[in-house]
Homo-oligomer: A and B are copies of this chain.
């Protein structure tokens, strides 16, 4: 290959609160040499997702943290440059966890082949990838939407939320989005077809959400927490289901909010309204991944499922884009274009 430098973005400091530019460093490394059974890939797209904030902390969670001076973790779409695995050929487009870098070597079994005929390959980071499967499995297994019910989706213009609302529609439920600007709300109703969308940065957010849900809320798909969650709570109907997928409003918090302690109100609502809260990670439903991807691709083909990507150019811009993601500055699935497709 022509470029023998492997640019990497590594974590040099654990953020306290909001990540800062100097928590990351762009360094040059050598291109890895694949071992027997491995595949060398060139990154085309890097997926930026909220979960990455958790990996920057040195705390126990469902996955190990990124180590200091280690390449930031991340899902990537790449092209196979050299294969020492019988399952892949040079030129194949694959999805894997390459991280924030130009090249990565991977065991073949950790890669998923992408069909470029099916949809743009960048969608393997979004609607036809982890976020899409997250939306499908979490919403259907935990949310269990029924015809005519009202589904409220936080972060409705984002990679997961936009899919949840559209599946709600497909299943015959009413979809109400919550997003962070009038522009996003407009897109959510006009392009994603939600029945309504409410701007949580508007001063009349609570009133607007209530008006948008005249029959209350039967499913609340939680991506956000904080003020959005507190506004949703009083509107929940008896037997409402709350799949807890993300809590982006909390990820940069350095301390707990001031009192009073609202936990008793939450517990009382869980009891009196017989609510179901259930947290999940996409891996919990790994057995349904194939089903989810097949259904999602079918709905895209049928014109029932739309998506929006926010593509940022250049690996070097990944930290800034990621910092913006945590503040809702992205508009659609956030992806970094690391190199051209097809790879040069």
Please list the residues of chain A having a beta carbon within 8 angstroms of any beta carbon in chain B.
54, 61-62, 222, 225-226, 229, 238, 244-247, 250, 253, 255-281, 284
Contacts and interface: CB of A to CB of B under 8 A. Distances in A.
Nearest to A261: B257
A247 B268 contact: yes
A246 B225 CA distance: 25
Contacts of A262: 256, 261-263
A257 B256 contact: no
Query: Chain B CB within 10 Å — which of A229, A246, A276 has the most?
Result: A276
Given A247-B268, A274-B284, A276-B276, 9 more contacts: A225-B267, A256-B259, A258-B259, A262-B263, A274-B278, A274-B280, A276-B279, A277-B277, A277-B278
Given A260-B255, A272-B279, A267 B250 contact: yes
Q: Give the copy number.
A: 2
Contacts of A284: 274
A276 B277 contact: yes
Contact of A270 (B260, B265, B269, B279): B279
A264 B271 contact: no
A257 B257 contact: no
A274 B134 CA distance: 14
Contacts of A270: 244, 277-279
A274 to B, nearest CB: 5
Given A259-B256, A260-B256, A275 B275 contact: no
Contacts of A61: 272
Contact of A265 (B54, B244, B256): B256
A298 B54 CA distance: 50
A278 B279 contact: no
A61 B270 CA distance: 12
